[in-house]
Structure 1
Amino acid sequence: MKVLCLWYATDDEIAYIKNAMPAGTEVVAPKGEYFSRFECAYSELSPLAVDADAFIGFALPKGLIGVAEKLKLYCTLHTGIDDLDKPLLKQRGIRVANTRGANAVACAEHAMMLMLALAKQTLYKHQQLLEGRRIFPTWEDGTRSATLQGRTVGVIGVGAIGSRVAQYAKGFDMHVLGVRRNKANSVEHVDSMHSMDELHTVLPKCDYVVVATPFTDETSRFFGKAEFAAMKPSSFLINISRGKCIQEQPLYEALTSGRLRGFAADVWPRYEYGETFPIGYTSRLEIHKLPNVIGSLGEAGNADDVKERHIQWGTESLSDFARGKPIRREVNLDEGY
């Protein structure tokens, strides 16, 4: 069996994968100079991909699957698979595994950081400190911090990340409402679970809403005008899922009209060639520049232990496949996760 690493893997990373595989497994990776260690050009990978049985990596160059005639498994070192050519993978019979949950702790911690930064107006108050200004008068609308204790948070998407958010929210004595596809699957730290059909009955009860859904056809732009209308004007929205889950214009209108107190995100809309015009990244309405918005640009998973866990869990899927075992993190290409 031949495994191709789709990044400039170190000798230690290659040895780690090889040691986890059956004897005789060949593990290869590109060598040489690079701009980004975690991505490679098609021209660098295609000669190595021709006879590869499995891929593992952080980025997949367009067209590489086409030259990999023996490919049977792709282990993507990410949670989402929305960037993959799922029809082609299904047509070729190529199985896919991801590393869902590898960044769950980091992303849930990031979500709580965003929630606290919004509630406590962290950037505004830090700027006042830099300028030597004492906020006055005290306890006024616009300068008064929000509180987490005793408040209600709605977690939309109670998977690996959402369940961690629920756990951390309980540390702040919050009431937690969960929303997921199958509400029959209860989760610890969630006070009551609801289906997506019940979303509009959950939103009016929430002081904070965290979007942590997987990105699928069903969740693409699912949060729009009707959802903002159902929320409290005093509530906050935090998105840790995908930028495309939330409709941009209704979000802008809610933030600038007093319909929503604040918004935070680590993920933003991505306008791709052929899908939108013009193309680009971050908000075309510059939502990220509004005074009641705080965020980061895809940094939630940039944390200690996350890279190592991605490689470990991807390697476990490779090992499962090589030994004929059920692949523990195999993806259902029809469902998208």
Structure 2
Amino acid sequence: MKVLCLWHATEGEINSIQKALPHGTEVVAPNGEYYSRFESTYSDLERHAADADAFIGWTIPRGIPEIAEKLKMLSWLHSGVDDLSEIGLLSMAKKRGFKVANIRGANAIAVAEQATMFVLALAKKTIFKHQAATENHKLFPLFADEHRSAMLSGRTIGVIGVGSIGAHIAKFAKGFDMHVLGVRRNKERSVEYVDSMHGMDELHSVLAKCDYVVLATPNTGETSQFFGKAEIAAMKPSAFLINIARGKLVQENHLHEALTSGRLRGYAADVWPKYEFGRAFPAGYVPRLQVQKLPNVIGSVDQAANSDGVLERYIRWGTQNLEEFAAGKSLTREINLDLGY
């Protein structure tokens, strides 16, 4: 079996993958100076892709899957596969019969911690109070609405999408004595620390009960732009919204209106909309309405998984996908090509 690393893998990374796979497996990577794991090109990979049996990596240049006629398996080192869907790779996999597996859960704790940080930062007005402290400005009067923090204890949090990340968010919320409501495709699958599970058809009734709402769903054809005017209208005006999943889940125009009119108390996100020319104008990777600059918004840019040990876990779990494939076992993290996750 020949495995192609889709990035300029270090010698140590290649060796760790090689050691985990059966004797005789060839593990190769493009030559060149190491800079980023997301910047390999068609010319970097072309000579190896043509006869590779399996790919592992974070990015795949256009044209490479088309020449990989022997490809039987892709180990994708992300939790989400919406990028693969957008370039038609999932439909190609279904047509040609090769398998796709991801590393879902590898960053679950790190991302759930980031979501919890956002909940606390919004509730406790962390940025606002830090700025007041740096300016030696004492907030007065005490307990004024504009200065007073929100509480977590005894409040209700809704987790929309209770997969690996959502389950950890629920666990952390219980540490603050919160009541946890979950929403997922299959509400019959209960999850520890979730007080009650609901289907997507119950979304609005769940939103109406929540003081905090965390979006943790994958971006699919069904969830893209699913959170809009009606969903915001269903929320309490005193509630906070946190998006830890994908920027495309939320309709920015309705979010902006709610945040500037007082219809929504605050918003936090690690992810922002990606506008592509041909679908929207102007094209870009930042909010068109500058939502991130509003005083009741805090955020980061794809930093939730940038934590100790996550990179190593990505490669280790991605290698486990290859091990299962080489052994002829069912893939623990195989993507359902029909559902897109």
User: Post-superposition shift, 1:38?
Assistant: 4.0
Residue of structure 2 in register with 1:245 after alignment: 249
Secondary structure of the corresponding residue to residue 153 of structure 1: strand
Instruction: List aligned pairs for 1:116-131, cutoff 5 A.
Output: 116-131=120-135
Instruction: List aligned pairs for 1:1-337, cutoff 5 A.
Output: 1-84=1-84, 85=88, 86-337=90-341
* Seq. identity, %: 65
CA contact (8 A) 2:75 2:100 kept: yes
Could you give the per-residue CA deviations for residues 217-261 of structure 1, whole angstroms, max 9, x where no partner exists? 111111110111110000000000101111111101110111100
Secondary structure of the corresponding residue to residue 83 of structure 1: helix
- Rounded Cα–Cα distance in structure 2 between residues aligned with 1:326 and 1:88: 20
TM (normalized to structure 2)? Answer: 0.97
Secondary structure of the corresponding residue to residue 27 of structure 1: strand
Q: CA RMSD in A?
A: 0.9
- Rounded Cα–Cα distance in structure 2 between residues aligned with 1:191 and 1:165: 13
Secondary structure of the corresponding residue to residue 299 of structure 1: coil
- Rounded Cα–Cα distance in structure 2 between residues aligned with 1:274 and 1:112: 36
CA contact (8 A) 1:152 1:207 kept: yes
User: Post-superposition shift, 1:37?
Assistant: 3.6
- Rounded Cα–Cα distance in structure 2 between residues aligned with 1:176 and 1:203: 12
Secondary structure of the corresponding residue to residue 157 of structure 2: strand
User: Post-superposition shift, 1:306?
Assistant: 0.8
User: Post-superposition shift, 1:87?
Assistant: 1.8
> Runs of 4+ in structure 1 displaced over 2 angstroms?
none
Greater shift in the superposed pair: 7-16 or 223-232: 7-16
Could you give the per-residue CA deviations for residues 49-70 of structure 1, whole angstroms, max 9, x where no partner exists? 1110000001111111011111
5+ residue gaps, structure 1: none
Amino acid at match of 2:310: V
Secondary structure of the corresponding residue to residue 56 of structure 1: strand
Secondary structure of the corresponding residue to residue 320 of structure 2: helix
CA contact (8 A) 2:37 2:58 kept: no
User: Post-superposition shift, 1:31?
Assistant: 2.1
Amino acid at match of 2:195: D
- Rounded Cα–Cα distance in structure 1 between residues aligned with 2:178 and 2:328: 45
- Rounded Cα–Cα distance in structure 2 between residues aligned with 1:160 and 1:186: 13
CA contact (8 A) 2:9 2:34 kept: no
User: Post-superposition shift, 1:282?
Assistant: 1.6
- Rounded Cα–Cα distance in structure 2 between residues aligned with 1:238 and 1:174: 16
Secondary structure of the corresponding residue to residue 52 of structure 1: coil
5+ residue gaps, structure 2: none
Counting matched residue pairs gives: 337
Could you give the per-residue CA deviations for residues 130-181 of structure 1, whole angstroms, max 9, x where no partner exists? 1111111111111111110110000000000000000000000000000111
User: Post-superposition shift, 1:92?
Assistant: 1.9
